[in-house]
A and B are shown apart, each in its own frame.
Chain A
Amino acid sequence: MDVSAVSFGGDFFMADDKQIFIALAGNPNSGKTSIFNCLAGANQKVGNFSGVTVEKVEGSFRHRGYTIRLVDLPGTYSLSPYSPEEKVARDFILFQKPDMVVNIVDATNLERNLVLTTQLMDLEVELLIVFNMIDEVEKQKTKIDYRQFEKLFGAHVIPVSAITQFGIRDLLDHIVDIKSGKIETLKYKHQYSDGIEEDIRALSDAIAGRTAWKHLPTRWLAIKLIEHDPDIIAMLKPFPCWASIEESIGSTREKILRFEKKDAEVLLAEERMAFIRGAIKETVVNDEEQRESLTEKIDNILLHRFLGLPVFLLIMYAIFQFTFRLGEYPMLWIDRFFQLITRSLDALIPASMLKSILLDGIIAGVGGVLVFLPNILILFFCISLLEATGYMARVAFVMDKLMHRLGLHGKSFIPMITGFGCTVPALMAARTLRNRGDRITTMMVVPFFSCGAKLPLYTVVISAFFAPSMAGNVLFGIYIFGVLIGLISARLLKSTAFKDESEPFVMELPPYRKPSARSMLSQTWIRAYMYLKKAGTVILLASVIIWFAGTYPKNAELHRHYESLRQQAAADIVSLDRQEKAQQLPYSFAGRIGKFFEPLSRPLGFDWRLNIALINGLAAKEIVVSTMGTIYAIGDVDSDFRTLAESLRSDPHYSKATGLSFMIFVLLYVPCIASVAVFFRESSSKKWTFLFVLYTLSVAWLGAFAVYQISTLLGL
């Protein structure tokens, strides 16, 4: 929906400075992000919540003269935080005090979603309830009595569908109307049974006088204390008045245990659930309850006892084949396009240093990276597809036993899979793990799940040394090799450095949903944009630097030799120039550095030119290919127009064994500077960041060594 159009619709005479600050809260997968996108459109800003590295998406837009500022909070099941992300969501509501909390509720799954709603009611904030997924509710022929529901929950309820855009305008109108006081809110408190209410009141009175906690909602604080929420207790403990409160909490809990024969938190949870079930009974009429849902039917296959694992592997395999095969055609076009540019520029511009920078540096480098845009896009599209449909959680379910054997959590597999896209978000995805040992271990092994930026290199090397029919299989083999190394490393780390107990596995398997085409495309577009931006900035700059390092300094004697040759044979100057460039390469900065590392890289089968590519690859993995593009363009004696794969194939120094070993090294060594920086930020440990770099480098050397020696023995 075009929100800007709406904003000029009505009360345009209202003052412009009116602001409404809104937080979107709700369970994971309730559709917060979809609704956020509906409301804020393109006006989004991604940052971090202050002090923590949890992504914060903010947007703002205007509606009927009001500026509405919107924050998409991380999904949370309750206000008793379980993960750092959930803590962020709770603290935001608690301390940032938004004008209104818009609670997004998945209306197809009210029973669980409303648990958070009742807790938000305890908080006594301005609450607006949104029943999302109303399109599905209607498909199920479920009828909901919203008016009755509003009476029970004491807040306005707005049916909405983020997919069909139904109700979005109504939602906006309500936000403005509530803020401007045009419509009233009931502001009921959710009432527990009389006994509990008395306890809450007594404890509230005891808390109310303390100025130290004045900024916190008293009733909610009392409830959390009765529940013995460890996070809240830790928050209040440092205050001197804690001691007196502690006593009354203890006696309250004891009393409940004595009379009700259960812990206070269980009793409160039961009462909340009873309230919710009662409310649902009164307001929801459903004809199709008895039928097995589509999700169950799909899971009967996807999570089948015997089919589950093969299907999972098949899906992974299909993604790689898809990425490779489908990407082939657009890649060919882009490649042709750059060859065409090179040829025409070569004919147009007279020989000069600038021409060399442009052709051998920039076009060879940037072009070499842009060719792989289709690959990257397809891979990212597939990963977001897994995420959006709900299969990602099944991956955790299917893999948990194995992960648990390694001492990890099924959820660790999600950062690992994200690692196939890009290591940086994968490292950040490890935040969903509660246990520090699990988190660090997962982060340490994420680089072995080959990121999308390494794909270009594999593509080039595979097409240089392997038959096209083998390409998909070799690629799959490389990826699997990385996965195995990753899993072994995890086991190693968990049995040495982090021997503490592992995290419990309690998670939702969200219902399967058809992802919205818009959000899929927008996510893929963001990736494309980031890739293009990188190509236009970092890689462009790196290409020029690499060109310079590959061209200077020149050996004076060699130069004089070629000068005299040029003067003698005026006819074939172009070919002489090429020959000189090739002969000069070993004397250049890059050549010297590459040669310096040759003793270390000989057993892996790499010569100094490959070393240069690897060193440059520390900046970003795309640069491995662009460096090779530049180096081989500089050093190519026969032709300026050969593709990189052709140059590699025709080089007598290289064989299948070199190709394999090189791919393995690229697969395993430090992903990039950015990933190291993010690792440090996420782990906040110098020691682990150092080990991250050291470990990946050593594993890469050992892996490539083994692969090269074995495949040489096999005669590849």
Chain B
Amino acid sequence: MIMQDPHREPIPLSEAEVGSCYRVLSVNATGVIRQRMLDMGLVPGVCLTVLRFAPLGDPIEIRINRFFMSLRREEARFVQVLPVAICPRPHHGRFRRFFRGGFFHGGR
């Protein structure tokens, strides 16, 4: 399970610390840019690690699972994250049913 430190408050991703792990709470950017963030896997609920800031200080590099993504502070401002103690990596286990109605109803 994701461990949450109850004393911590949500912060914008732009103020995150290098090397720390966060869980995405919301993506509040607007329009195409939000769709793009969502499509690249920056979806509420996922955990990310802040890897670094670029040498000149701006774009920020994050890792979502095995995916390395970078975005400017400007865009990172719109992503609310919650600090988590450890970043859960996917481990093997049986599939949990995520959906009320199952995965698919089959057929065409």
- Chain A residues with a Cβ under 8 A of chain B: 77-78, 80, 82, 108-109, 111-112, 115, 152, 154, 186-194, 197, 227, 229-230, 262, 265-266, 269-271, 273-275, 277-282, 284-286, 289-290, 293, 295-296, 299, 303-309, 397-398, 400-402, 404, 410, 504-511
Contact = CB atoms under 8 A, between A and B. Distances in A.
Given A154-B104, A402-B56, A505 B72 contact: yes
Contact of A194 (B34, B74, B98, B100): B100
A304 B61 CA distance: 12
Contact of B54 (A188, A191, A279, A397): A397
B64 A306 contact: no
A189 B43 contact: no
Contacts of B92: 281, 284-286
Most chain B beta-carbon neighbours within 10 Å: one of A78, A284, A509: A509
Contacts of A282: 94-95
A624 B60 CA distance: 45
B32 interface: yes
Given A111-B41, A112-B41, A289-B89, A308 B102 contact: no
B11 interface: no
A57 B67 CA distance: 27
B91 A289 contact: yes
Given A262-B26, A295-B68, A505 B59 contact: yes
B44 interface: yes
A85 B46 CA distance: 28
A277 B90 contact: yes
Given A265-B34, A269-B43, A305-B52, A505 B70 contact: yes
A505 B89 contact: no
Interface string B69-108: 1111011000000000000011111111011111111111
A110 to B, nearest CB: 8
Contact of A82 (B27, B36, B64): B36
SS of B interface (majority): loop
B59 A152 contact: no
B51 A309 contact: no
Contacts of B44: 262, 266, 270
A295 B92 CA distance: 23
B18 to A, nearest CB: 9
A109 B105 contact: no
B101 A401 contact: no
Interface residues of B, number: 59
Contacts of B53: 305
B72 A111 contact: no
Interface in B2-46: 26-27, 29, 31-41, 43-46
Given A194-B101, A266-B27, A506-B33, A309 B56 contact: yes
B45 A111 contact: no
Contacts of B74: 504-505
B59 A270 contact: no
A275 B98 contact: yes
Contacts of A507: 69-71
A303 B43 CA distance: 26
A299 B55 CA distance: 12
A282 B96 CA distance: 8
Given A77-B39, A80-B39, A193-B101, 19 more contacts: A80-B35, A82-B36, A108-B66, A111-B67, A111-B90, A193-B99, A230-B32, A274-B99, A286-B90, A295-B68, A305-B52, A305-B53, A305-B55, A306-B55, A397-B59, A400-B58, A506-B37, A506-B69, A511-B68
Nearest to B41: A112
14 contacts: A77-B40, A112-B67, A154-B104, A193-B99, A227-B35, A262-B44, A265-B38, A275-B98, A309-B55, A400-B58, A504-B29, A505-B59, A509-B61, A511-B68
- Across chains A and B, which 7 residue pairs bring their CB atoms closest together, nearest first? A308-B55, A282-B95, A401-B56, A78-B39, A269-B38, A401-B58, A509-B68
Given A266-B38, A506-B37, A281 B90 contact: yes
A265 B36 CA distance: 11
B68 A275 contact: no
B98 A401 contact: no
A230 B34 CA distance: 12
B99 A404 contact: no
Nearest to A148: B95
A9 to B, nearest CB: 33
Contacts of A193: 99-101
Contacts of B61: 299, 303, 397, 509
Given A77-B36, A80-B39, A269-B39, A303 B26 contact: no
Contacts of A284: 90, 92
Most chain A beta-carbon neighbours within 10 Å: one of B34, B52, B63: B52
A108 B66 CA distance: 8
B37 to A, nearest CB: 6
B75 A506 contact: yes
Contacts of B101: 191, 193-194, 197
A303 B52 contact: yes
Contacts of A194: 99-101
Contact of B98 (A115, A278, A404, A509): A278
B34 to A, nearest CB: 7
A191 to B, nearest CB: 4
B66 A111 contact: yes
B64 A111 contact: yes
Contacts of A510: 68
A605 B95 CA distance: 77
Contacts of A401: 54, 56-59
A285 B91 CA distance: 7
Given A230-B31, A285-B92, A112 B40 contact: yes
A308 B83 CA distance: 27
Contact of B55 (A279, A303, A410, A506): A303
A146 to B, nearest CB: 15
Contact of B67 (A78, A280, A306, A508): A508
Nearest to B49: A296
B98 A274 contact: yes
Nearest to B68: A509
Contacts of A306: 55
Given A187-B108, A401-B54, A265 B41 contact: no
A508 B61 CA distance: 9
A43 to B, nearest CB: 33
A412 to B, nearest CB: 14
Contacts of A304: 55
Nearest to B63: A296
Contacts of B89: 289-290
B54 A398 contact: yes
B100 A112 contact: no
Most chain B beta-carbon neighbours within 10 Å: one of A277, A278, A404, A505: A505
A285 to B, nearest CB: 4
A74 to B, nearest CB: 15
A193 B55 CA distance: 43
B103 A191 contact: yes
B54 A109 contact: no
B60 to A, nearest CB: 10
Nearest to B95: A282
A115 B64 CA distance: 14
